[in-house]
Amino acid sequence: MIALDHLRHVDATPARLARESYRAGEIAPTSGVAPGFTQANMIVLPRDWAFDFLLYAQRNPKACPVLDVSDPGSHATHLAPGADLRRDLPLYRIWRDGKLAEETPDATKAWAEHPDLVSFLIGCSFTFETPMLDAGIEIRHITDKSNVPMYLTNRPCRPAGRLHGNMVVSMRPIPASRVADAATISGRFPAVHGAPVHVGAPEEIGIHDLGKPEFGDPVRIEPGEIPVFWACGVTPQAAVMASGVPFAITHAPGHMFITDIPDTAYHA
Amino acid sequence: MIALDHLRHVDATPARLARESYRAGEIAPTSGVAPGFTQANMIVLPRDWAFDFLLYAQRNPKACPVLDVSDPGSHATHLAPGADLRRDLPLYRIWRDGKLAEETPDATKAWAEHPDLVSFLIGCSFTFETPMLDAGIEIRHITDKSNVPMYLTNRPCRPAGRLHGNMVVSMRPIPASRVADAATISGRFPAVHGAPVHVGAPEEIGIHDLGKPEFGDPVRIEPGEIPVFWACGVTPQAAVMASGVPFAITHAPGHMFITDIPDTAYHA
């Protein structure tokens, strides 16, 4: 990975314009927006929970690769100077006592409830979809213009303090002849989930019906295609639910934070 | 990187025997001991400082790649079941108010001063020396049976909470024709400092006399060799000093913790 300070000269206008449109009120999924700029999952927690979460992420790096952590009380990030994490995502989820309480395009009001919130930005597998497409590997949910399917597995993450929960995975159907290529290409991007965690045999990880993802949309699986599973940045939301976290703000699935950082920066 | 749970079948007897000899009182540097098993830097801090440090590590991943974090009050690690972090390193340093207070082969007494210590194990560049040797690249401090030279640079790390300090680097002289190979090979191991942070031009990072390292021993530099600098796991000790941390336990430079994890597990 390239040190971020070396990337200050990159023209990030497309990323900035996208954030400005969300700040102005536009609500839309971010897949395909500002191509080439890294998108991130977000979870925001009170300072009292921040060590537990950072440790949870350290112990579960495939699911929770941390790209940046804000200072307590700040809504700024190193990954996009000038951005406001309270308003620059298209859609937020507010969680109370482990339950989804609200979806909102502006988290400013909820953010004001706690003076010491810490924001975690977590790598997103959208980052390696572009090089997979460049290698001639079809990404079905892009072809079909749907959200990627995501499943809650039976695989527990390593707990940390008060946090526990199972891993969430995203799934892409890949032709059997290209599975190795998909693993190799995504494996070059460890900061955005890296190589698959599971290939085929969905029942082994507790997925009994690929047509019913817990998050996102189901996708077509053609004959000769294998379901390939990557660790997913919605895993923190599963931990919020399983652990009954008193208060959290997250992105809404598919509605990511768009950073100023080129995807290539996360090439290992 | 391979999930550690897949490595449970590896026979780690050489690592365990080394730890047992240190526990029994042997004091010696660990370079070349239990070859093939990952060695780690250690810093142990009270729970109150743990979030600041974990954030410091997250923000400075080249210098502080975290391999494992213990639960508060525990002296166990996921990387070596059965090990006792208070006694299984050959030599410890006890720090008080940012100053080195003591070197001791057994940290049990100091450890008992705080009920909630958190231990951080951090990757060590010894891990990529073996594949560099395998590629025919001489490692001078191994040839000359000395400790690797380490220098405090003028490059500030990104601060986190109360922690700040400059990066420490290790230096290996590499023939000009092999510098690219050394960068490529070490770059495959991002969890143990990865690729060099600086090649040649030591004065640019505030090193004015290669013959006077702040830690370790100076080494011969032959004509046609370039000094190549890697981020170093002694960086946390520089932060302890610069930040006046009230209490910390660390390894003594060169006297690392030997884990049960094969070096190959950290190949990206």
Give the largest Cα separation in chain B, rounded. Answer: 53
Partner residue facing A1 (CB), from B58, B161, B190? B190
For A143, the token pair is: 């072809």
User: What is the distance, to the nearest Å, from the Cα of residue B151 to the centroid of all Cα atoms in its chain?
Assistant: 13
Whether the pLDDT of residue B268 is over 80: the answer is no
For residue B159, the chain A residue with the least C-alpha distance is: A71
CATH 3.40.50.10490 for domain B4-24+37-124+242-266: no
Whether the pLDDT of residue B2 is over 80: the answer is no
Per-residue pLDDT, B101: 97
CA distance B203 to B223: 18
Distances (CA, A) of A4 to A78, A80, A119, B112, B167: 9, 11, 18, 40, 16
For A113, the token pair is: 């409830």
Q: How would DSSP label each residue in A9-34?
A: TS--HHHHHHHHHHHTT-----TTSS
CATH architecture of A126-235: 2-Layer Sandwich (3.30)
Q: Does the interface predicted TM-score (ipTM) exceed 0.85?
A: no
- Contact residues of B toward A, CB < 8 A: 1, 3, 47, 50-51, 54-55, 58-59, 61-62, 66, 69, 71, 78, 158, 161, 187, 190, 194, 197, 268
Per-residue pLDDT, A130: 86
Interface size A-B, in CB pairs within 8 Å, comes to 42
Per-residue pLDDT, A6: 64
Average model confidence (pLDDT) across chain B: 93
User: What is the distance, to the nearest Å, from the Cα of residue A170 to the centroid of all Cα atoms in its chain?
Assistant: 10
What tens-digit pLDDT sequence spans chain A (268 residues)? 556 666 667 899 999 999 999 999 999 888 878 988 999 999 999 999 999 999 999 999 999 999 999 999 999 999 999 999 999 999 999 999 999 999 999 999 999 999 999 999 999 998 889 889 999 999 999 899 888 999 999 999 999 999 999 999 999 999 998 999 999 999 988 889 999 999 999 999 999 999 999 998 999 999 999 999 999 999 999 999 999 999 999 999 889 999 999 988 887 6
What CATH topology corresponds to A4-23+33-123+244-266? Answer: PSTPO5379-like (3.40.1640)
Q: Looking at residues B202-224, what average pLDDT do you find? A: 94
CA distance B256 to A89: 44
Q: Looking at residues B214-221, what average pLDDT do you find? A: 93
Residue A186: in which H helix or E strand, if any? helix A179-187
| Residue type (1 letter), B199 | V
Q: Looking at residues B16-41, what average pLDDT do you find? A: 92
CA distance B104 to A107: 51
Partner residue facing A268 (CB), from B47, B71, B190? B190
Whether the pLDDT of residue B1 is over 60: the answer is no
For the stretch B105-123, pLDDT in tens is: 999 999 999 999 999 999 9
Pick from A264, A244, A240, A262: which is nearest to A253 by CA?
A: A240
Q: State the DSSP code for A154.
A: E
Question: Which residue(s) pair with B100 in the sheet?
Answer: B95
For residue A59, the chain B residue with the least C-alpha distance is: B68
- Match 């991130």 to its residue by tokens: A40
CA distance B51 to chain A (A): 5
Cβ-Cβ contacts under 8 Å, B197 against chain A: 3
The domain segmentation of chain A, as residue ranges, is 4-23+33-123+244-266, 126-235
CA distance A43 to A237: 8
